[in-house]
Structure formats: C-alpha cells, structure tokens
C-alpha cells in the first residue's frame, strides 16, 4: 500500500468540517461545559485516590470506575492474551493519556523521554529517570531496570510522537527492541464524538480539558502475540516486524516518517496562514477548493491582484527557470512568496523548466555583487527536484538544505540590492 503524505498522519483541526456535526456540537456545548466543571472536581478525587491507595488490582478497579465518570472508557479484547513473562510492551501512540489507560489494565512504567523530572512528571504517571540521559545511557539504564527481580514491566512508544491513529504509523525506533529479546505489541484505538482525539501540537492540559468536555472517549486495547528476536536478528529488524504487525491490526499503513518529520511539518505549518493551511489540508485529503463561479478576474480582491506581479517577480528572481504562469497559479493559492518557493523547490508542483533569459519577467538592474550572488542562486536551485516527498531522511535533509541555501541567497541579494554592501566592503 502506498504511503500517505505526512500531513494525513496528524489532526490539525479540532472541530469537524461537517455542518451537521458542528450544529450538534453547538447544541451540546452547554451540557459539555457543565460536564467539564463537574468532572474537574471528580478528577481531583481520582488523582487523590490513585495517590493514596497502594498499587493493586483493587486500586486499578476503583480508578477505572472513577475514570468512567470522567468519560474515559477502557476496553480490552482478552486479558489472558497478555504475556505475564514479558517485561517490555510496545504500543502505538495516539494521545497524551495512552500510558495511563494501559496502567488501568495492569501495572507498568513508562519513562518520560522529553520533559523535566519533577512533580508534573510523577503526577502524570511517568517513571522519573532523574537526569538527562543520552540514548545509549537510557538503553543501558532500562536494561538494568528490567533485569531486577520484581520490577514492573516497561510500556514504551517506539513512534516517540503521537499520531491520529487513523492513517499510518510513524517509523518505530529500534532502541525499545534492544532492551530484551521478547516484546509484546499492544494496539490501541481511540474514538470520541464531535471532535478529534488529539491535535498534533496541543498540550497535555488542552487535551485533558477536551477529554472532560466531550461526552465520552473510548479506548480499545488489543493484546497481540509476543514477538521474539530470531537468530541473528537485530533490534531494527524486530522493530520493522512489530510496526508491520501493529499496522495490520489497526488497519492502517506503516510509514518511514519519523518524529523529526513531524517536527518539520509543524514548523512549516506555523509559517502558513490559517486559510492557506486549511486549503492545503483539504487538497491533501483529495478535496478541491471551492471557488464560486465568475469570481476569478472580476476584481473582487483588487489588493491581492495588484500584489501578485510583485510577488511573482520575487519568486522569479530566486527561480528564474520556473514559468511565470506556474508561479502566479501557486501564489494565488498560497499568497506567500516563501511558501511558493518551498513548494517549487520540494517538487510538489510539476512544471517544465524554461530558459531564464528568454521571455518571462525582466530581470532588475543589479550590481556586480548582486549578479554574482544571483548566478550562484540560479545554478544552485536549477537542480532537478524529486516530484514526491523523499522517503530517505538523507534525501529530505538535502532538499531542506537546498531550500535554506536558496532562501538565504535570495534574502542576501535583496538586501544588497536595497541597501548596498556593508560599510566594510565599501571602504575596501
């Protein structure tokens, strides 16, 4: 199955697109606000009870019942399928509360990889490591932990970042599969009405308030068969097998995207205007942007139309081999010079390159320094770009570096054109 684009792996919009669901959510809001206030008080008691009672089957039963009052319902396929001899469990990552949900079913520990140890770490149910660990030190520490007699099993999330759990899994890191030879995968599926289960860049507190606001959230946990390392098999190979098994169980695909790809996607998303990001998201889902008939060319947006040639000129200075109509067409969608340049450099827009010296926009008068810098930019960005998002992290890094170099050269040439060389260069 073909891997989906990276933006489909995450929710960036909380509210539904369907008008009927939005109407239902609006009618539900008074009830949801009352539930939120009531559940905040119940949640405080849940926290106090979980702290006061010792870890036991009775404590987990009481806390699970109280969590049902908070609208968090937990189901599992068959408790007997959990292998009690296994010390390492791996699960797909969907929400901020995945480790808490698994903890309601059996006692386990999840180390906090990204965060500061302290009260908040302990209150959220993470295992405190005490100091900042490198990956090698963390692996060695966890190996010593599971080798101790009577230690609780480890629950790890190889994706290292949460997804929407609907389309695909991030690439599994290999270090959780290097702790022990036996690992049991756990598949988790989350459902709730009205709103998305979690957003890509939301905080723990925001997700908690939305969880208390909605009528219910159902967590379905399924225990999968234990996986063991084969003769001569490394942790990387076991991670690939576990990822494929979990993806097959959840009915989604396993991708080569990593947590670094999610960080890069969120960084790009923050630099795109809200209306543009919504348009890009709809286009990636296969939806066409709705344009009323007769709007184009009628002068309904005279200010944007007047800016378009100037913006196209800026893009053409960086990428002179791109046809002018291609640049204007993308600028009409993005309304952002940097976004259009990024789209062209990354190959998301197909076009036939043309000679920069023939036709198109007239090149502005430049000094000798500007001409030299512009020639370097043209030669640097005239390399063919991949037409699809590269699967190799190295290829993606090279594409990003090329884009950064092109944008840097463009900014420098514009600065020199407007302000001239620095004073030190003038004296020379």
Tell me the pLDDT tens digit for each residue of 266-278. Answer: 888 877 654 444 4
Q: Indicate whether 362 pLDDT > 50.
A: no
Backbone angles phi, psi at 70, to 5 degrees: -85, 0
Per this entry, what is the length of the chain?
428
What is the rounded radius of gyration, in angstroms, for the C-alpha atoms of the chain? 27
Confidence of residue 131 (pLDDT cuts 50, 70, 90): low
Whole-angstrom Cα distance, residue 70 to residue 285? 33
Whole-angstrom Cα distance, residue 58 to residue 64? 10
Residue 148 CB neighbour total at 10 angstroms: 9
**pLDDT for res 228:** 93
Q: Indicate whether 53 pLDDT > 70.
A: yes
Supply 249's token pair: 């169980």
Whole-angstrom Cα distance, residue 334 to residue 301? 15
- List, for residues 263-308, the tens digit of each pLDDT value: 888 888 877 654 444 444 444 443 333 433 333 333 333 344 557 7
**pLDDT for res 300:** 33
By C-alpha distance, which of 240, 245, 191, 239 is closest to 223?
A: 245
Whole-angstrom Cα distance, residue 186 to residue 100? 14
Q: Indicate whether 426 pLDDT > 90.
A: no
Q: Indicate whether 163 pLDDT > 80.
A: yes
C-alpha of 264 from chain center: 8
Mean pLDDT (whole number) for 77-103: 93
Instruction: Give the whole-number percent of the chain exceeding pLDDT 70.
Output: 73
Q: Indicate whether 91 pLDDT > 80.
A: yes
How far apart, in Å, are the Cα atoms of 126 and each of 57, 114, 143, 164, 404? 19, 11, 18, 22, 38
Q: Indicate whether 323 pLDDT > 90.
A: no
Supply 407's token pair: 């944008």
Confidence of residue 366 (pLDDT cuts 50, 70, 90): very low
CA angle 320, 400, 346 (to 5 degrees): 50
Q: Indicate whether 360 pLDDT > 50.
A: no
Whole-angstrom Cα distance, residue 175 to residue 275? 40
Q: Indicate whether 41 pLDDT > 80.
A: yes
Residue with tokens 């640049």: 327
User: Any long-range contacts for 309-318 (C-beta under 8 Å, 24+ apart)?
Assistant: 311/337, 311/340, 312/361, 313/361, 313/364, 314/410, 314/414, 315/340, 315/341, 315/344, 316/360, 316/361, 317/363, 317/364, 317/374, 317/410, 317/413, 317/414, 318/377, 318/381, 318/406, 318/407, 318/409, 318/410
Q: Indicate whether 110 pLDDT > 80.
A: yes
How far apart, in Å, are the Cα atoms of 281 and each of 118, 122, 182? 38, 37, 40
Mean pLDDT of all residues belonging to the chain: 78
**pLDDT for res 122:** 82
User: pTM value?
Assistant: 0.63
- List, for residues 326-337, the tens digit of each pLDDT value: 888 888 777 777
Q: Indicate whether 25 pLDDT > 90.
A: yes
> Lowest mean pLDDT: which of 180-189, 272-281, 290-299, 344-353?
290-299
- b/e 179-204 (16+ beta carbons within 10 angstroms → b): bbeebbbbbbbbebebbbbbbbebee
Mean pLDDT (whole number) for 193-203: 91
In sequence order, which ranges of 251-335 are alpha helices (DSSP H)? 259-270, 274-284, 302-318, 324-334
β-strand partners of 185: 90
Mean pLDDT (whole number) for 370-398: 48
**Higher per-residue pLDDT: 165 or 284:** 165
**pLDDT for res 374:** 44
**pLDDT for res 351:** 74
**pLDDT for res 249:** 93
Confidence of residue 406 (pLDDT cuts 50, 70, 90): confident
């Amino acid at each position: 199955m073909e891997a989906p684009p990276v933006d489909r792996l995450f929710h960036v919009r909380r509210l539904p697109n369907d008008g009927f669901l939005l109407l239902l959510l609006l009618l539900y809001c008074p009830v949801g606000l009352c539930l939120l206030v009531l559940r905040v008080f119940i949640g405080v008691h849940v926290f106090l009870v979980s702290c006061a009672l010792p870890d036991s089957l009775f404590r987990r039963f009481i806390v699970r019942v109280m969590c049902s009052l908070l609208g968090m319902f937990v189901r599992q396929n068959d408790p007997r399928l959990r292998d009690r001899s296994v010390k390492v469990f791996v699960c797909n990552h969907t929400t901020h509360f995945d480790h808490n949900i698994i903890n309601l079913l059996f006692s386990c520990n999840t180390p906090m990889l990204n965060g500061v140890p302290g009260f908040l770490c302990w209150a959220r149910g993470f295992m405190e490591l005490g100091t900042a660990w490198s990956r090698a030190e963390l692996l060695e520490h966890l190996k010593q932990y599971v080798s101790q007699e009577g230690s609780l099993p480890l629950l790890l999330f190889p994706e290292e970042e949460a997804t929407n759990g609907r389309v695909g899994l991030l690439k599994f890191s290999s270090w959780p599969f290097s702790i022990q030879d036996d690992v049991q995968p756990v598949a988790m599926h989350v459902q709730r009405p009205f709103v998305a289960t979690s957003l890509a860049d939301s905080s723990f507190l925001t997700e908690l308030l939305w969880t208390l606001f909605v009528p219910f959230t159902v967590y379905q946990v399924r225990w999968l068969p234990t996986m063991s390392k084969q003769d001569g098999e490394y942790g990387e190979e076991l991670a690939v097998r576990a990822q494929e098994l979990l993806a097959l169980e959840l009915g989604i695909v396993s991708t080569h995207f990593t947590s670094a790809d999610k960080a890069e996607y969120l960084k790009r998303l923050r630099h795109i205007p809200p209306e543009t990001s919504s348009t890009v998201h709809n286009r990636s889902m296969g939806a066409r942007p709705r344009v009323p008939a007769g709007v184009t060319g009628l002068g309904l947006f005279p200010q944007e139309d007047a800016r378009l040639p100037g913006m196209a000129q800026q893009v053409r200075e960086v990428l002179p081999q791109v046809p002018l109509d291609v640049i204007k067409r993308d600028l009409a969608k993005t309304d952002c010079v940097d976004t259009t340049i990024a789209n062209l450099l990354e190959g998301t827009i197909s076009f036939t390159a043309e000679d920069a010296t023939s036709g198109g926009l007239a090149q502005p008068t430049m000094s000798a320094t500007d001409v030299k810098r512009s020639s370097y930019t043209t030669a640097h960005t005239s390399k063919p770009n991949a037409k699809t998002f590269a699967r190799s992290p190295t290829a993606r890094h090279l594409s990003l570096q090329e884009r950064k170099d092109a944008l840097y050269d463009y900014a420098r040439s514009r600065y020199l054109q407007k302000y001239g060389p620095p004073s030190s260069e003038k004296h020379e």
